């Protein structure tokens, strides 16, 4: 896979966030994608749960802005630096995204600071995850 494939997928990711058209996730996420949350120790596997998580996080974040992006030497991964608000709390974070040969996301890991911003996100996501969890 070339750099252009990863870049094209990252561009699609940015377009999705700008347009709020989360249906783009369907083509961006691999079926076996894994999401590594800053809140939960255990990763979340599978397209359905990852789609749910990302769709809800985007609804919770306010003033979400990306600043810088860094590509790995093999061009398979990108790190995107962002800031956002959750209610009154400000946070900064990074999305570490790895792509497969087809330009689909296979691994999505998020790190967030400070603790107060992470706790605000955890509280809101916790409510939404409880509603999603299979009964």
* Confidence band of 134 (pLDDT split at 50, 70, 90): low
* Per-residue pLDDT tens digits for 17-67: 999 999 999 999 999 999 999 998 899 999 999 999 999 999 999 999 999
Task: Note whether residue 74 is domain-resident.
Answer: yes
Domains identified in the chain, total number: 1
pLDDT digits (tens, 9 = 90+) for 69-100: 999 999 999 999 999 999 999 999 999 999 99
> What is the average pLDDT score of the chain?
93
The CATH number of the domain holding residue 108 is 3.10.450.50
Residue 134 in domain: no
8 A C-beta contact, residue 83 and residue 92 = yes
What is the residue range of 124's domain?
3-129
Residue 53 lies in a domain: yes
What span, in angstroms and rounded, lies between the C-alpha atoms of 76 and 104?
A: 10
């Amino acid at each position: 896979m070339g750099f252009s494939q990863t870049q094209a997928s990252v561009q699609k990711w940015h377009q999705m966030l700008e347009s709020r058209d989360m249906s783009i996730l369907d083509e961006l996420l691999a079926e076996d994608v894994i999401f590594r949350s800053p809140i939960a120790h255990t990763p979340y596997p599978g397209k359905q749960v990852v789609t749910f998580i990302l769709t809800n996080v985007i609804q919770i974040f306010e003033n979400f802005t990306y600043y810088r992006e860094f590509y790995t030497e093999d061009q398979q991964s990108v790190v995107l630096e962002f800031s956002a608000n959750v209610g009154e709390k400000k946070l900064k974070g990074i999305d570490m995204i790895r792509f497969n040969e087809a330009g689909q996301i296979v691994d999505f890991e998020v790190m967030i600071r400070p603790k107060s911003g992470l706790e605000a996100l955890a509280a809101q996501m916790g409510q939404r995850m409880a509603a999603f969890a299979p009964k």
